Amino acid sequence: MASVRFTVTPTKAEDLPGLSDTSPDISSRSGARVRFGSKESVNRSDPLSEASGGATPGGGTETPDHSSLEQGDGNSKISSVYINNTHGVDDDDFYDRNLALFEEEMDTRPKVSSLLSRLANYTNLTQGAKEHEEAEIIGEKKKASKSPQMGTFMGVYLPCLQNIFGVILFLRLTWVVGTAGVLQGLCIVFICCCCTMLTAISMSAIATNGVVPAGGAYFMISRSLGPEFGGAVGLCFYLGTTFAGALYILGAIEILLMYMAPKAAIFESKEPEGEGAAMLNNMRVYGSICLLLMSLLVFVGVRYVNKLASIFLACVIVSIISIYIGALVSAFKPPNFPVCLLGNRTISGHEVDDDHCAKTILLPNAEPTESADSNFTFINENSTVGPTFDPSATPALVDKTTSIWEHFCSGPELNASCDKYFISNNFSEIEGIPGLASGIISENLWSSYLSKGDVVEKVSLAASSDATPASTHHPYVFADITTSFTLLVGIFFPSVTGIMAGSNRSGDLKDAQRSIPIGTIFAILTTSIVYLSNVVLFGACIDGVVLRDKFGDSVKGNLVVGTLAWPSPWVIVIGSFFSTCGAGLQSLTGAPRLLQAIAKDNIIPFLRVFGHGKANGEPTWALLLTALIAELGILIASLDLVAPILTMFFLMCYLFVNLACALQTLLRTPNWRPRFSYYHWSLSFLGMTICLALMFISSWYYAIVAMVIAGMIYKYIEYHGAEKEWGDGIRGLSLSAARYALLRLEEGPPHTKNWRPQVLVLLKLDEDAHVKSPRLLTFASQLKAGKGLTIVGTVVSGNYLQSYGEALAAEQTLKILMDKERVKGFCQCIVAQKPREGISHMIQSSGLGGMKPNTVVMGWPHAWRQSEDPQAWKTFINTVRVTTAAHLALLVPKNISLFPSNNEPCTEGYIDVWWIVHDGGMLMLLPFLLRQHKVWRKCGMRIFTVAQMEDNSIQMKKDLATFLYHLRIEAEVEVVEMHDSDISAYTYERTLMMEQRSQMLRQMRLSKSDREREAQLVKDRNSMLRLTSIGSDDDEDTDGGERDRPASGGGSSEHHRRVQMTWTKEKTSQYRATHSGCSTPEGFRDMLSIRPDHSNVRRMHTAIKLNEVIVNKSHDARLVLLNMPGPPKNPEGDENYMEFLEVLTEGLERVLLVRGGGSEVITIYS
């Protein structure tokens, strides 16, 4: 069978030239040569067998099955036809002859061709359109996705336009311009557009720094700032998108009930005061129904939403175009929308029947009538007069009151009592849309903020000075909320959101890294120009009283922006209704998928259920939660109250997009290589600052609530979420901060005031890799109380190459124990031939720079007297010597199993400190640190010191009390006098027993070592091996035994001695006879005649006397802290040293032996 190999050199599919003869080393069993003359000869739709068959001479050679190219998922580009050929290689030729050096590592380090093959077949899933549509078609198999073909215009520009233009443009922008004025309105729009533009620049940099899969903004933020920030901001973005859906639905219902079908209202109020509440209830009912229908539509199928999207976008574009045409037409022929004023107060057009904006009208009457009331003023300009009116026929006409009269007077009679403002002011009628050439913009330049209940007034008109406060029973146009600049910012900002639409569709784009920046930025420029020009047009074409009339009451309930539209207001009404419905559907489609992306990342445990859905991946549970949250927004029922909520969530999201870009730029992460190069960290920081300012400008309390929600989510993910490593910028920031801090710490030694125990805890593992004394770590956690550096270390005996897996298991064991004990720190596992060497290496190498351990915590060798193997206590003494040489403090808890756990607080008792020698103040500081923990918090502190006969004990007590006062440590003080006394017989006896036991054990270990040597030599007589097994200290024990005898001339050369000769029976007997004192009964008799050494007797005397005093005073103490004497300089006395420590601590339940590091750790100065 032929082995076909393709060589690919081009980097782009578009640049592939015609392939030359690419198979020079085809197997000799087949003479077939495969040649592709041009890239047209291989199509993705044509099987390769046709091409290869045509290239085979005579057709006699079949193309092998394994050399045919699979199409994979169908969306690989042309280059993948040539790259994806790893399956076409024979088993015998699996490892290339040119890569034989690397064949053993192929499983972990694949060939470049394999890597390129996987990249060529990579499919980037979108946020949820195509694959869901295809899976929903019943009876149709899921088709292979086609290559993404959408360009910048269709894939990014238009979706961004559709998402940015929304309900605020049609329902609130005119009101914002009328209230804030043209100048401040331009300022509001400009600030919001600057915020989104700077965010788009940052987003473009992030989006072009690699592939952005499903999740859009959430994916970018989480992969840039880490799972904590990503989860918090992702949920904020989800809540913002969900509330945006509620906002759009409320806008659609407002258009329906206010301007399309006012009679469809279910709740109506006869009293003016109740109209607002009735309207809110109508919004709640219709909004809930609309939300239910939209949710069902999204649940049934995304394909319906996507098919309607183009229709909704067309509605938006037509509506905006009609505004511009209407503004231009108004310069020549202004539309007729008269506004009725009483003085300078605006009258609701709903109350002006038959366009009679007057107090009375003249109507013909056959009956004789009285003359007109002297107070009646005929408004010649605007009052309505009958078509047959003739001035000469005045006696035949009579004054009749209009419908407005009855709202201000007690009755329809001309002599009825009326409102003072009504009497002293006349009605007038103005054009609501004066037109572009009217110069009305000069009146609309300045702001006119109103309080709730104020009447909308035309400031340029004069009114009577005796104006009385307006009553809600009068048919004026009132302000429904108190307005301010900050409020208007919060209400307007949602109209500039939606800039993430392009990044969410990156999977549909032919070249996402080029299309996303260009499409998004041009969409923002387009919408910004539309908003800014509309602010100017509204101010130049529409009268101020109409602009400030939010619901168009002054123009008989017409949509204010619709009055400017050409050819009819219905163009805007219908267009805005469908566009808001479409935007609501898009929000209800996108939000569940965003939640699903967060849930599938598994960083927030309680959201995992929302990662599941229908068989085709449709997020059913996420859609249900989205509908419930949107219902909360609909129950608020007010567009002006919902808008600031989603403003906060979107601003929070944009803030962190800018932070992510600035952080990555400043840290100069090696992976930060965006294709979009027109960004700078200062622009990102400016955008971040604007976002933060806008949050507090629009609504400071909403901003605090949004931050608290994000902070709670952050801490929840930090403590309970799954650990993720995404190469985020926050981790990079932590590394940079750590490096900076470590370099600062290196500048000089720490001051005494800054000294705190940086602990290295040495733990021992048993044969099953379980920690022997876990309570040691408990004690360390109580001592640290979560502060400072903690390193937990252990030593694994063996060779690193063979014991690497065992070391990883040991490290994992330590991590689990640290989590259980809630110890924040690091674990370190060292593999060494001998434990004492490993411990020495760990003490020397642990930590980094100024964060090196200064205190070692290790356990007491349990039952060291009964142990035949002296490894434990010899290692213990060696560690004491190493810590002393390294100038580290040493803490040795004795009887550690009796120490309280973290769940066993001491309710009473004392911590006793026996301050015998001063070693830097460790004995004073440790009880204070322990009492910071809940276990020891209720314990008192007693300090004992020892006075000799020549000391003044009374003065010592005063001085000690003063010293503790300056140290700010509360403790009871007691000076214990120790009188000189003769050495007792008991002391002699203990010393003698100690020395006899030491010598006996030495001889027994020596004879045991000899037996091991003989057994080894029987196994392999001619080998030159070490006398003991790897990881044992028996060879050093033997050396120690040799050091005990007087040194001979060749004694120095026997240190760390290896076997250099073949042992015989005679030589072994001779060696035993000369080196052993216990091989014969005479040897034992000589040992029994030993007289104790005088220095040992003195040390034993001290230990016994101190132990008597300590047991007498501290037998009921919860913990006893005691100076630990140093080991002897001569290694011959190691066993005696252990005996002294044992005697010193006899009869005490819990003892902490403390040895200072040689530096002061506590000071009386501030």
473-501 confidence digits (pLDDT tens): 788 888 888 999 999 999 999 999 888 87
More confident residue, 658 or 217: 658
All residues at 6 or more sequence positions from 969 whose CB lies less than 8 Å from its CB, including other chains: 924, 928, 941
Whole-model pTM over 0.85? no
Q: Is the pLDDT of residue 549 over 60?
A: yes
Q: Which of 639, 432, 447 is nearest to 541 (CA)?
A: 432
Give me the mean pLDDT over the 750-769 stretch.
79
Give the span between the Cα atoms of 1012 and 1095, in whole angstroms: 35
Question: Which residue has tokens 């168009």?
Answer: 552
Q: What percent of the chain has pLDDT over 90?
A: 14
Give the span between the Cα atoms of 96 and 136, in whole angstroms: 46
Give the span between the Cα atoms of 1162 and 151, in whole angstroms: 70
Residue 1016: how many CB atoms within 10 A of its CB?
A: 18
Q: Is the pLDDT of residue 528 over 90?
A: yes
Q: Is the pLDDT of residue 288 over 90?
A: yes
Give the span between the Cα atoms of 889 and 1159, in whole angstroms: 9
Q: Which of 151, 132, 131 is nearest to 75 (CA)?
A: 131
Half-sphere exposure of 704 (CA within 13 A, CB side): 2
Give the span between the Cα atoms of 516 and 501, in whole angstroms: 9
Half-sphere exposure of 246 (CA within 13 A, CB side): 30
Q: Is the pLDDT of residue 736 over 90?
A: no
Within 637-785, where are the H helices? 639-667, 681-698, 700-720, 729-745, 775-784
Give residue 685's pLDDT.
94
Amino acid present at 454: D
All residues at 6 or more sequence positions from 301 whose CB lies less than 8 Å from its CB, including other chains: 132, 133, 136
Give me the mean pLDDT over the 679-696 stretch.
93
Structure tokens at 798: 């063996």
Structure tokens at 633: 């927004």
Tell me the pLDDT tens digit for each residue of 972-1017.
Answer: 888 887 766 655 555 656 666 666 556 655 565 555 555 455 445 5
Residue 52: how many CB atoms within 10 A of its CB?
A: 23
Give the span between the Cα atoms of 561 and 335, in whole angstroms: 12
Give the span between the Cα atoms of 235 and 218, in whole angstroms: 8
Answer for the pair 622, 596: CB distance below 8 angstroms, yes or no: yes
E strands in 672-728: none
Give residue 173's pLDDT.
92
Question: Which residue has tokens 């050929």?
Answer: 85
Give the span between the Cα atoms of 220 and 656, in whole angstroms: 10
Amino acid present at 1140: F
Q: Is the peptide bond before 567 cis (omega within 30 degrees of 0)?
A: yes
Q: For residue 375, what pLDDT band results from cuts at 50, 70 and 90?
A: very low
Q: For residue 530, what pLDDT band results from cuts at 50, 70 and 90?
A: very high
Q: For residue 263, what pLDDT band results from cuts at 50, 70 and 90?
A: confident
Using a CB cutoff of 8 Å and minimum separation of 24, what contacts does 803-806 make?
803/831, 804/831, 806/769, 806/831
Answer for the pair 33, 26: CB distance below 8 angstroms, yes or no: yes
Give, for 913, the enclosing helix (H) or strand (E): strand 910-915
Tell me the pLDDT tens digit for each residue of 103-140.
Answer: 555 565 566 656 666 555 443 333 444 444 444 444 44
Give the span between the Cα atoms of 669 and 666, in whole angstroms: 8
Q: For residue 691, what pLDDT band results from cuts at 50, 70 and 90?
A: very high
Residue 879: how many CB atoms within 10 A of its CB?
A: 22
Answer for the pair 765, 809: CB distance below 8 angstroms, yes or no: no
Q: Which of the residue ranges 22-31, 522-531, 735-744, 853-862 has the most confident prediction, judged by mean pLDDT? A: 522-531
Tell me the pLDDT tens digit for each residue of 8-53.
Answer: 444 444 444 443 443 344 333 444 443 434 433 334 444 433 434 4
More confident residue, 669 or 37: 669
Answer for the pair 1135, 877: CB distance below 8 angstroms, yes or no: no
Question: Which residue has tokens 């045509």?
Answer: 54
926 forms beta bridges with none
791 forms beta bridges with 760, 826
Tell me the pLDDT tens digit for each residue of 304-346.
Answer: 777 787 888 888 899 999 999 999 998 888 888 888 888 888 8
Give the span between the Cα atoms of 457 and 754, in whole angstroms: 68
401 phi and psi angles, rounded to 5 deg: -75, 145
Mean of the per-residue pLDDT values of the chain: 74
Sheet holding 1119-1123, edge to edge: 826-832, 790-797, 759-762, 855-858, 889-894, 1151-1155, 1119-1123, 910-915, 940-947, 972-977
Give residue 988's pLDDT.
54
SS3 string of 107-166?
Answer: CCCCCHHHHHHHHHCCCCCCCCCHHHHHHHCCCCCCCCCCCCCECHHHHHHHHHHHHHCC
Q: Which of 596, 605, 627, 593 is nearest to 723 (CA)?
A: 605
Please report the sign of the dihedral spanned by the C-alpha atoms of residue 1013, residue 1018, residue 1019, residue 1025.
positive
Give residue 142's pLDDT.
42
Across 43-47, 575-579, 782-786, least confident range: 43-47
